[in-house]
């Protein structure tokens, strides 16, 4: 009797490095996960710092902020806001497409096959353009204020 | 069915976190851009500015909501990634329990500061 169970994920995490036929969208998804993990790590660090040092009073808080005000942390801060811009806008695109919008009408499976997402790649490109605009705006803001 | 609810919750919390974090980052980072728009913002990292926000119920609400939704979204996303390692059912249960405990600890840690500072003002 044929196995009716779900397909096993044979590649596991190694499947991340190969986009296959999905190409651009698959690599955007990979970057979505990498930025998500980075934001999780930063979030835990940020939460710990703001909780522990904030409740200890003005002197400790001010010395902590002075310590963090250096080029290394400023570059890190820029990477965080850039990662957030990417993760948020690409996530919005993923939600919209997962709910069935911006996918295009179904077409008969005639060779060469194109999937629904790639028929509406313009949406992906618009999302990428918006992310670039935000990243540049943040870069200008950081540059005007100084990098540490 | 449980995973369906988790996936829907992941999408909803993702949208909420995007909005709340955009507010947080705009206030914390966009001095120059806000200045160009005619909105003057004092350096939000100074003690005085931080305490001013800590004493406003709306900011305390935003921070706690951001923390709760953010922790759920981040830790559930992390769990989704780890599930791709093809874990056994027992390992998934242990991992889920560990992640929930981790989230609860950080939720308590993170809500302590805003509530303590807000209470000290009243």
Q: Say what the ipTM of the complex is.
A: 0.91
- Asked if B65 contacts B57 with a C-beta cutoff of 8 angstroms, the reply is no
Whether A18 shows a pLDDT value over 80: the answer reads no
Residues sharing a CB contact under 8 Å with residue A33, sequence separation 6 or more, in sequence order = A16, B77, B81
CA distance A5 to chain B (A): 15
Q: Is B18 on the interface with A (CB under 8 A)?
A: yes
Q: Model confidence over B95-110: pLDDT tens digits?
A: 999 999 999 999 999 9
Q: Six-digit token pair at A129?
A: 């353009």
Chain A CB contacts of B46 under 8 Å are: 62, 65
For residues B12 and B28, give the distance between their C-alpha atoms in angstroms, rounded to a whole number. 24
Question: Which among A38, A50, A54 is the top mutation candidate for probing chain B, defined by the most B β-carbons within 10 Å of its own β-carbon?
Answer: A54
Consecutive H or E run containing B80: helix B57-82
Contact between A51 and B110 using a beta-carbon 8 Å cutoff: yes
How many domains does the structure of chain A reveal?
A: 1
Residue A12 belongs to some domain of the structure: no
Least Cα distance to B13 among B61, B60, B67, B59 occurs for: B67
For residues A102 and A114, give the distance between their C-alpha atoms in angstroms, rounded to a whole number. 15
Q: Model confidence over A91-125: pLDDT tens digits?
A: 999 999 889 888 877 788 888 777 777 777 888 88
Question: Which among A81, A82, A89, A135 is the top mutation candidate for probing chain B, defined by the most B β-carbons within 10 Å of its own β-carbon?
Answer: A81
Write the class of the CATH domain B2-121: mainly alpha
Question: Which pLDDT band, with edges at 50, 70 and 90, does A9 fall under?
Answer: low
Q: Model confidence over B24-83: pLDDT tens digits?
A: 988 887 777 777 778 777 788 889 988 988 999 999 999 999 999 999 999 999 999 998
Name the closest residue on chain A to residue B20, using Cα atoms. A88
Residue A86 belongs to some domain of the structure: yes
Residue A14 belongs to some domain of the structure: no
Name the closest residue on chain B to residue A10, using Cα atoms. B86
Whether A21 shows a pLDDT value over 80: the answer reads no
Residue A16 belongs to some domain of the structure: no
Specify the pLDDT at position A101. 87
Consecutive H or E run containing A96: helix A71-98
For residues B73 and B69, give the distance between their C-alpha atoms in angstroms, rounded to a whole number. 6
Whether A57 shows a pLDDT value over 80: the answer reads yes
CA distance A78 to chain B (A): 9
Q: What percent of chain B has pLDDT over 70?
A: 97
For residues B67 and B65, give the distance between their C-alpha atoms in angstroms, rounded to a whole number. 5
- Asked if A87 contacts A79 with a C-beta cutoff of 8 angstroms, the reply is no
Q: Give the CATH number, domain containing residue A71.
A: 1.20.1300.10
Least Cα distance to B65 among B5, B11, B15, B27 occurs for: B15
Specify the pLDDT at position B45. 85
List the domain range (segments joined by +) for residue A130: 23-145
Residue A140 Cα to chain centre, angstroms: 21
């Amino acid at each position: 009797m044929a196995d009716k169970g779900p397909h096993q994920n044979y590649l596991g995490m190694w499947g991340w490095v190969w986009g296959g036929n999905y190409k651009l969208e698959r690599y955007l998804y990979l970057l979505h996960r990498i930025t998500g993990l980075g934001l999780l790590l930063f979030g835990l660090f940020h939460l710990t710092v703001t909780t522990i040092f904030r409740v200890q009073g003005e002197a400790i808080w001010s010395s902590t902020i002075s310590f963090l005000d250096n080029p290394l942390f400023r570059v890190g801060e820029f990477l965080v806001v850039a990662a957030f811009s990417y993760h948020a806008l690409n996530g919005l695109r993923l939600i919209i497409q997962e709910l069935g919008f911006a996918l295009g009408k179904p077409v008969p499976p005639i060779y060469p096959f194109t999937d629904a997402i790639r028929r509406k790649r313009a949406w992906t490109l618009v999302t990428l353009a918006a992310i670039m605009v935000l990243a540049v705006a943040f870069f200008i803001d950081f540059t005007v204020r100084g990098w540490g | 069915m449980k995973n369906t609810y988790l996936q829907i919750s992941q999408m909803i919390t993702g949208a909420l976190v995007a909005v709340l974090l955009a507010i947080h980052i705009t206030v914390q980072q966009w001095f120059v851009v806000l200045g160009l728009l005619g909105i003057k913002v004092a350096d939000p990292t100074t003690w005085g500015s931080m305490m001013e926000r800590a004493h406003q119920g709306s900011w305390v609400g935003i921070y706690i909501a951001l923390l709760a939704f953010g922790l759920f979204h981040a830790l559930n996303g992390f769990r989704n990634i780890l599930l791709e390692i093809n874990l056994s059912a027992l390992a998934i249960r242990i991992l889920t329990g560990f992640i929930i405990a981790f989230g609860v600890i950080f939720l308590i840690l993170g809500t302590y500061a805003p509530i303590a500072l807000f209470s000290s003002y009243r």
